[in-house]
Amino acid sequence: MKRIITSALISVVCLCSAYAQQPYFATEELPDLVQCLPAPPKKGSPEFRYDVQRYRWGKAQRKDPERAAMARRDAIWSLDTTLVVLGEPFGIKVSMDDTPAIYEVLTRGITTIENIRFKPKAHYFRIRPFAYFKEPSIFPQDDEWLATEGSYPSGHTIRAWACALLMAEINPACAEAVFARAWASGESRVISGCHWQSDVDASRPAASIGYARLQASAAFRAQMALAQEEFRRLASPDQGGREHFVKISDVIPDVILEIRYYSTHNFVGRRIDGYLAPTAMLTRQAADSLKVVSDELKARGYRLKIYDAYRPQCAVDHFVRWAADVPDTLMKRCFYPDVDKSRLFELEFIMEKSGHTRGSTVDLTLFDMAAGKDLDMGGPFDWFGEESHPDYTGITPEQFANRMILRDAMLRHGFKPLDSEWWHFTLKNEPFPDTYFNFPVY
C-alpha cells in the first residue's frame, strides 16, 4: 500500500515540478539510478552500522542552535530558497527579475536533475531514520507525510548539489565556496533525521549523473551560454575579485587561525554572514608582506594568530543590523560592558564600511611558542573601549612591550596601525584602496 501511495505522490510532485519549470529532459529520458548506484545498505551490515552512528551524530548536532537553524532552512523545499541559500557563495543574488537568464538555467536545470531521484525512491522505498527509530525528526510536523516517501536517495541533497554544479559552471570562481555550502546542505539532512548518511552520499553522484545528461541538451547549452554572459555583465568589482586573494594559511603554513566571526565567540554572539569556513584571506600583496613579518617573528619564538582578515561587505552589514537592534546585548558582558549599545555608531565602534572589506587588513596577535600560549596583550580582541588603544597606559610594562613587539614588526614590513585597536593593521600600499568586496570567506 505504501508503494502505491509513494508512486501517486511522485506523480503529483513530477506534475507540479514540470508545471513550475519545464525540464530539459523528461524523467524517463534520464539515466536509471537503480542501474547506476548500489542498493542502500542492508540492516546489520557495516555500512548500516555507520548510518546508525551518523544518525546519532546528527541528533547531537541539533543541540547547536545555529546548526539546527541551518538544517531547518535547508529543509525548505523551494527552488527560490535553494537559490538564496547558495546565492551568497555564488557571488550575486539570483532572481527571476534581475537575473532572468541565470534564473532560467538554474531552475530548469535543477528541475531536470532532481527528477532522477524518483525511480530509486520508488524501487527501494527505504524507511527514513526517524521512522526506523520511532523518534521525531527535527520537523515533527512533517513526519507523517515524509514517512510515505522513500529515503534513498535524498532529493534535497540532489537539488543542492545540482545547483552547485550549475552555479560553478556559470561562475567557476565560486566553485570552492558553493560546493562547501552544498555539502553542508547534505549534512543538514542527516542532522534533521530525515535521511541516512548513505542516502546523502549516493545523492551527490546522482546529481552528477543528471548533470552529465544535461550536457546533451542543445537548449541547455544555449541557455547556459546566455547565463554565463549575463553573469559576466552583472558581476561588479565588489562581487568578484576572488582571483586577487589568497588564503593566509597557503602563504604562511604554520599560522594559527582563530576566526572569531565564523564562531559564536564574538560581540554579536552568532556566526557572521559571509563566513562559510574558519579561513583567513588577504590580497596577495598583503599576504606576502605578512609572510615576511611571520618569518621575522618566528625567529624570535613567536607565531602569528589571526582573528580576522578579509571581511565581506555582507558581514559588515550584519554588524550594522546587530548594532541597530539595541535590545540584543547577548555578549555585552564579554565585549562592551561599559558601553551603551545605543552609542556604538556614535563612538565609531560600528561603521557601515570597513577597511577589512578592501582585503588588505588583518586582525592578529602573537603566540609564544616557548610558553605555549598567546602573549599577554593587556586586553582581549574586539574589546570596545580605550583599553584596546595601542598606546593605552593602564596596562603593565610587560603587556605594553608585547604590543610593541607586534606593532614594530608590522610597521617594519609595510603595515600601518589603527589608533584604537592594538590588533588591527592595514597594508600601507593596499592594492584596492577604493574597492569593497563582497564574496564570502570560504
CA triple 368-310-89, angle to 5 deg = 125
d(CA 250, CA 255): 9
The 10 Å Cβ neighbour count of residue 17 is: 19
Strands 361-368, 281-283: pairing is unpaired
* CB within 8 Å of 245: residues ≥ 6 apart: 281, 282, 283, 284, 310, 359
Distance in angstroms (rounded) separating the CA atoms of residues 197 and 92: 31
Residue 157: φ, ψ to 5°: -70, -40
Non-local (6+) Cβ contacts of 300 within 8 A are 405
DSSP per residue over 182-232, as a string? HHHHHHHHHHHTSS-HHHHHHHHHHHHHHHHHHTT-HHHHHHHHHHHHHHH
Confirm whether 149 is a catalytic residue: no
HSE-up of residue 399 (Cα within 13 Å, Cβ side)? 16
DSSP string covering 204-218, please? HHHHHHHHHHHTT-H
The Cα angle at residue 116 between residues 110 and 121, in degrees rounded to 5: 125
Show the cell assigned to 328: 540584543
Closest CA to 110 of 25, 200, 195: 25
* Distance (Å, whole) CA 363 – CA 196: 41
For cell 570562481, name the residue. 173
3 state SS of 365: strand
- Cis-peptide into 120, omega within 30 deg: no
CA of residue 167 relative to chain centroid, distance = 15
Q: What is the residue whose three cell numbers read 549575463?
A: 230
Q: Which of 47, 176, 296, 421 is catalytic?
A: 421
Q: Could you give the CA distance from residue 200 to residue 189 in angstroms, rounded to a whole number? A: 7
Q: Catalytic positions, please?
A: 421
